[in-house]
Structure 1
Amino acid sequence: MRRASARLLSAFTKTHPNSRNLPKLLSPRPLPSNPSSISNLFPRTHPPIPFPKCPSRSLQTLSANAPPAPLSSRQQKLKEKSDLEEAFESATTTDDILAAFQALEHALDESDKRLGLACLKVGQHLESIDSEDHEKVLGFGLRALKILDKDGESSISVAMALHLVGSASYNLKRFNDSLGLLNRANRILGNLERDGSSEFDIRPVSHAVQLLLANTKTAMGRREEALFNLRKCLEIKESILEPDSRELGVAYRDLAEAYAAVLNFKEALPLCFKALEIHKAQLGQNSVEVAHDRRLLGVIYTGLEEHERALEQNQLSQKILKNWGMGSDLLNAELDAANIQIALGKYDEAINTLKGVIQQTDKDSETRALVFVSMAKALCNQEKFTDAKRCLEISCGILEKKELVSPDKVAEAYVEISTLYEMMNEFETAISLLKRSLAMIERIPQEQHVEGNVSAKIGWLLLLTGKVEQAVPYMESAAERLKESFGPKHFGVGYIYNNLGAAYMEMERPQTAAQMFALAKDIMEVSLGPHHTDTIETCQSLANAYSAMGSYALALEFQQQAVDAWENHGPSAKDELREATRLLEQIKKKAFESMSNAVSQEALPLSHGSDAVPSKLEQH
Structure 2
Amino acid sequence: MMRRVSSKSLSISRHFIASTASIEPNTNRSIAPLFKTNNNHALFSSKINILHLFSTATSNSTPAEKSSESIKTAEDMLRSVKNMEAGFGETELGLACLNVGIKLDQDGENPEKIFPYACRALDVFDKDSNPSLYLAMTLQLLGSVSYNLNKFDDSLVYLHRAENVLVKLEKENSSSLDEIRPILCNLLVDLAKTKTAMGRREEAIINLRKCLEIKETALGKDNKELGDDNMELAQAYNAVLNFDEALPFCLKALDIHKAQFGHDSIEVADARRVLGEIYTGLEQHEKALEEIVSAKLLLKSLGLDSDMLRAEIASANTLIALGRFQEAVDTLKSVAKCTDKESDDRAIVYVSMAKALFHLDKLDDSKKCLEIARLILDEKNAIPSEEAVEAYMEISMQYETMGELDSSVLLLKKTLELIVNLPELQHLEGSISARIGWLHLSIGQAEKAVVYLENATERLKINFGSNHFGVGYVYNNLGSAYMDLDKPQLAADSFIQAKKIMEVSLGRVHEDTIGTCRNLVKAYEAMKSYSLAIELQEQVIEDWKTHGLSTEDDELKEANLFLEQLKKGALNQ
CA, structure 1 residues 255+31, in 2 after alignment: closer, same or farther (shift >3 Å)?
Answer: farther
Q: Does 1:92 align with 2:96?
A: no
Partners of 1:45 and 1:292 in 2: how far apart?
A: 30
Partners of 2:546 and 2:56 in 1: how far apart?
A: 72
Q: Does 1:562 align with 2:562?
A: no
Partners of 1:417 and 1:370 in 2: how far apart?
A: 9
Q: What residue is the counterpart of 1:119 in the other structure?
A: 97
Contact 2:495 2:516 in 1 (8 A): yes
Contact 1:11 1:456 in 2 (8 A): no
Which stretch has the larger CA shift, 354-363 or 31-40? 31-40
Partners of 1:34 and 1:535 in 2: how far apart?
A: 45
What is the Cα deviation at residue 13 of structure 1?
A: 4.0
Which stretch has the larger CA shift, 163-172 or 245-254? 245-254
Partners of 1:45 and 1:276 in 2: how far apart?
A: 31
Q: What residue is the counterpart of 2:271 in the other structure?
A: 293
What is the Cα deviation at residue 100 of structure 1?
A: 1.3
Which stretch has the larger CA shift, 28-37 or 210-219? 28-37
Q: What residue is the counterpart of 2:31 in the other structure?
A: 35
Q: What residue is the counterpart of 1:7 in the other structure?
A: none
Q: Does 1:108 align with 2:104?
A: no
Q: In the TM superposition, what whole-angstrom CA distance separates every residue of 1:262-289 from its partner, at most 9, and x where no partner exists? A: 1110001011111122222333333322
Partners of 1:106 and 1:113 in 2: how far apart?
A: 13
Question: Following superposition of structure 1 onto structure 2, how do residues 349-368 of structure 1 map, counting pairs within 5 Å?
Answer: 349-368=327-346
Partners of 1:173 and 1:306 in 2: how far apart?
A: 38
Partner secondary structure for residue 345 of structure 1: coil
Partners of 1:184 and 1:54 in 2: how far apart?
A: 23
Q: Does 1:586 align with 2:565?
A: yes
What is the Cα deviation at residue 18 of structure 1?
A: 7.1
Q: What residue is the counterpart of 1:50 in the other structure?
A: 54
CA, structure 1 residues 416+25, in 2 after alignment: closer, same or farther (shift >3 Å)?
Answer: same
Q: In the TM superposition, what whole-angstrom CA distance separates every residue of 1:538-575 from its partner, at most 9, and x where no partner exists? A: 10010011111111001111111111111111149922
2:155 aligned partner, one-letter code: S
Partners of 1:18 and 1:452 in 2: how far apart?
A: 13
Q: Does 1:248 align with 2:239?
A: no
1:296 aligned partner, one-letter code: V
What is the Cα deviation at residue 29 of structure 1?
A: 5.5
Partners of 2:203 and 2:174 in 1: how far apart?
A: 29
2:306 aligned partner, one-letter code: S
CA, structure 1 residues 228+46, in 2 after alignment: closer, same or farther (shift >3 Å)?
Answer: farther
CA, structure 1 residues 503+258, in 2 after alignment: closer, same or farther (shift >3 Å)?
Answer: same
Question: Following superposition of structure 1 onto structure 2, how do residues 126-165 of structure 1 map, counting pairs within 5 Å?
Answer: 126-132=104-110, 134-165=111-142
Contact 1:286 1:320 in 2 (8 A): yes
2:70 aligned partner, one-letter code: S
The TM-score with structure 1 as length reference comes to: 0.85
Partners of 1:592 and 1:351 in 2: how far apart?
A: 61
What is the Cα deviation at residue 409 of structure 1?
A: 3.3
What is the Cα deviation at residue 376 of structure 1?
A: 0.9
Partner secondary structure for residue 361 of structure 2: coil
What is the Cα deviation at residue 519 of structure 1?
A: 0.8
Question: Following superposition of structure 1 onto structure 2, how do residues 588-607 of structure 1 map, counting pairs within 5 Å?
Answer: 588-594=567-573
Partners of 1:403 and 1:348 in 2: how far apart?
A: 31
Which stretch has the larger CA shift, 193-202 or 350-359? 193-202
Contact 2:101 2:114 in 1 (8 A): yes
Any unmatched runs of 5+ in structure 1?
1-9, 59-80, 595-620
What is the Cα deviation at residue 378 of structure 1?
A: 1.1
Question: Following superposition of structure 1 onto structure 2, how do residues 42-441 of structure 1 map, counting pairs within 5 Å?
Answer: 42-43=46-47, 48-50=52-54, 86-109=66-89, 112-132=90-110, 134-199=111-176, 201-241=179-219, 243-441=221-419
Q: Compute the RMSD of aligned alpha carbons.
A: 2.6
Any unmatched runs of 5+ in structure 2?
1-6, 36-43
The TM-score with structure 2 as length reference comes to: 0.91
What is the Cα deviation at residue 244 of structure 1?
A: 4.2
CA, structure 1 residues 319+408, in 2 after alignment: closer, same or farther (shift >3 Å)?
Answer: closer
Q: Which has the larger radius of gyration?
A: 1
What is the Cα deviation at residue 406 of structure 1?
A: 3.2
1:587 aligned partner, one-letter code: L
Which stretch has the larger CA shift, 258-267 or 381-390? 381-390
